[in-house]
Structure 1
Amino acid sequence: MDCCFAWMRKAISFLMHLFSSNTLHGTHSPFVYALLRDCVYSKMSVRESVKSYYSGMKERKDVIEGFDHGAGKSVRIEVGALAKKSVTQHFESNLLGRLVNHHSSQRILELGGNLGKASATIASMNENADVVSVEGNEGLVQMAKDGFDTLGIKNVNLIHATFDSFFQTNEMKFDFVFIDGDHSYEPTLRYYQRAKECLKGQGPIVLHDIYWSKGMEKAWASVKQDPDATVTIDLFFMGLVYFRKNQEKEHFKIRFPKSLFGFFL
């Protein structure tokens, strides 16, 4: 019953977004227009070997074991089931890669590495960039590492740590941060604040699954109210946050091409 209710709530949120969002040609901010043109509406994609590798994971029957720090318990799940349920979709990963390319980001932080698909895509599409991927589940860390080795990806630094413990010792600065971890209100805002502290330049900070739950919707609403966040872009499945100096605060709701049918790819 809870799953059905959550699905219905998300479907309603999607329809509301669909009818209240804008398109590329209805966007009058030069900064956002260029970003949409070069990233959201672009067809630049990761090499086929990366896409095929992670698509093939959906058929795997081997089991991952580890501790889920967000849920606070040990978990045991088939790789295929996890790949179908929790991994970023191809269109999402490609968008992340295009965003990094568009901004010429050199050091990227990913909070929530999962099976490694997003970081593999970003790293493959931007071979001169360095990706730091933080994952708290030791089973997922090993699975992601195996994938990077298989695909010959050398520019990802995989760190086994909780997000909080990573931030306690981190001294690096990043020009791009992707948050895809504990999908609840308080932790999301905490990670967002810590990400701001290690961000250099205008960003972005990208939050995944901003309509995943009521807690995530509340967190996204709080982020939009942050005085430091001058440009926020709601793509439904992701929220982009920029910290542009001398920029009047603006919020954009953007309809993804093909009305977000990429959800089903």
Structure 2
Amino acid sequence: MWFKISTYLSFLLKSTNQHGVHSPFVYSLVTKCFYKKTNFTKIILFKEIKKFLKNNHSKIEVSDFGKGSKVFKSNTRKVSDIAKIAGISTKKALLLIRLVEYFKPKNILEIGTSVGLASCALSIGNPQSKIKTLEGCKNTAQIAQQTFEKFHLNNIQLNIGDFNSTLPKIIEYNNFDMVYFDGNHQKEPTLNYFKECLKTAHNNSIFIFDDIHWNKEMFETWKIIKQHPKVTVTINTYFWGIVFFRNEQLKQHFTIRV
């Protein structure tokens, strides 16, 4: 708890808004995406999907391949609780929608589907994109697939299995413009996924790392990613770490309040 409090206070002291940004690329992103209002129709659709999942009180057995939950004491969980506690927050989902809308990535990879809330946000952001999402637990994946089908989100392809097996195969046969990392909150696996996904990164790729302040391990991971020689621009929004590979820019790190 103290770690999160101290890092949040540090974030507040270091963070800025658009007035403290001296990069035209980042300034445009902040003013035209971060601080822009989300399309009302897209808000309504996402909230409808979230309500649908929060109204599902059936229980499933969850296979957790990551760090594990700080809240759940059992692997038998209600779908509604997973959506409420472990699913992406509405604030983050709407920002994710705006990011996809802004950059219009054609091919998106999500590492960690859970019950599919973030996947839905990616799809809503750009229905023309092709989204591949990876999930280790077959029971949560089944709930996600049912949700995609109910809301006719036909641009999402779900892949089930251990990431160490599914990720290399996906990377081998696809190129991705955006990768959303939300499948493991441990240092070594996250760095391994990052290194694997670097094989598909190009000059305009965007990597988004969820929960970079989740614990000391994740924050250390974020600092290592920032220093990678292929990384040129990073943005710390506290809940996300966003990475760019723009060769035309000098290496810069930004801390932005959203």
What TM-score results when the alignment is normalised by the length of structure 2? 0.91
Please name the residue that 1:204 is paired with: 206
Which residue of the other structure, out of 56, 60, 64, is the alignment partner of 1:60?
56
Q: 2:36 matched to 1:34?
A: no
The CA distance in 1 between the partners of 2:55 and 2:3, in whole Å, is 29
Equivalent runs, 1:8-157 vs 2, <5 Å: 8-45=2-39, 46-71=42-67, 75-157=75-157
Distance 1:198-1:77 versus aligned 2 partners, 3 A rule = same
Which residue of the other structure, out of 234, 245, 248, is the alignment partner of 1:246?
248
Please name the residue that 1:262 is paired with: none
Query: Would you say how many aligned residue pairs link Structure 1 and Structure 2?
Result: 250
The CA distance in 2 between the partners of 1:232 and 1:115, in whole Å, is 28
How far did 1:160 drift?
0.6
Deviations 1:158-189 (A, max 9, x none): 11122211123221110100000110111111
How far did 1:11 drift?
2.3
SS in 1 for 2:62: strand
The CA distance in 1 between the partners of 2:62 and 2:14, in whole Å, is 41
The CA distance in 2 between the partners of 1:60 and 1:43, in whole Å, is 29
Amino acid at match of 1:75: N
The CA distance in 1 between the partners of 2:55 and 2:22, in whole Å, is 44
Equivalent runs, 1:149-228 vs 2, <5 Å: 149-170=149-170, 171-228=173-230
How far did 1:149 drift?
1.2
Runs of 4+ in 1 over 2 A off after TM superposition: 55-61, 199-202
How far did 1:193 drift?
0.8
How far did 1:201 drift?
3.4
The CA distance in 2 between the partners of 1:255 and 1:232, in whole Å, is 14
Deviations 1:102-128 (A, max 9, x none): 112100000001111111111122111
The CA distance in 1 between the partners of 2:169 and 2:24, in whole Å, is 38
Instruction: State which drifts further: 42-51 or 144-153.
Output: 42-51
How far did 1:56 drift?
4.3
The CA distance in 2 between the partners of 1:67 and 1:102, in whole Å, is 35
Amino acid at match of 2:34: V
The CA distance in 1 between the partners of 2:26 and 2:196, in whole Å, is 25
SS in 2 for 1:233: strand
Unaligned runs of 5+ in 1: 1-6, 257-265
> Percent identity over the alignment?
34
Contact 1:211–1:236 under 8 Å retained in 2:
yes
Amino acid at match of 1:199: A
What TM-score results when the alignment is normalised by the length of structure 1? 0.89
Contact 1:107–1:176 under 8 Å retained in 2:
yes
The CA distance in 1 between the partners of 2:84 and 2:126, in whole Å, is 25
Please name the residue that 2:235 is paired with: 233
Instruction: State which drifts further: 115-124 or 56-65.
Output: 56-65
How far did 1:68 drift?
1.6
Instruction: State which drifts further: 187-196 or 51-60.
Output: 51-60
SS in 2 for 1:14: helix
How far did 1:12 drift?
2.2
